[in-house]
Amino acid sequence: MQDAEGKGCTLELTFYRNQNNFSQPKYEERLFDHLGFEVKNMNDTLTTLRKENITITDEPFELATGTTIAFVEDPDGTLIELIERK
């Protein structure tokens, strides 16, 4: 995963070929809660995701530090945190 300047990191996702069904437990029962990704522009990112009918579970809100975060869901219900740092 890299940005336009070629900076980034490696993210490993595992797929189990013999797994027939994936079900995400309720939020309170999860061992894995969410992934977080930094975005350069929260509004532009959410506009793009809305066009793709991505579920936005928490609209953007600003933390005391000036950082803005929002949450979306992947098709399996896993939360993805979007982070825009000021």
Q: Could you tell me if residue 43 is inside a domain?
A: yes
pLDDT tens-place string over residues 18-61: 767 666 666 676 666 788 899 999 999 999 999 999 999 999 99
What's the rounded Cα separation, in Å, for the pair 22 and 76? Answer: 7
What's the rounded Cα separation, in Å, for the pair 37 and 83? Answer: 6
Q: Could you tell me if residue 72 is inside a domain?
A: yes
Model confidence at 75: pLDDT above 90: no
Domain that holds residue 55: 34-84
Residue 79: CATH number of its domain: 3.10.180.10
Q: Could you tell me if residue 78 is inside a domain?
A: yes
- Confidence tier at 62 by pLDDT (50, 70, 90): very high
Higher-confidence position of 19 and 73 = 73
Total domains in the chain come to 1
Q: Could you tell me if residue 23 is inside a domain?
A: no
What's the rounded Cα separation, in Å, for the pair 37 and 24? Answer: 20
Higher-confidence position of 48 and 7 = 48
Specify the DSSP class assigned to residue 25: P
- The answer to whether the predicted template modeling score (pTM) of the entire model surpasses 0.75 is no
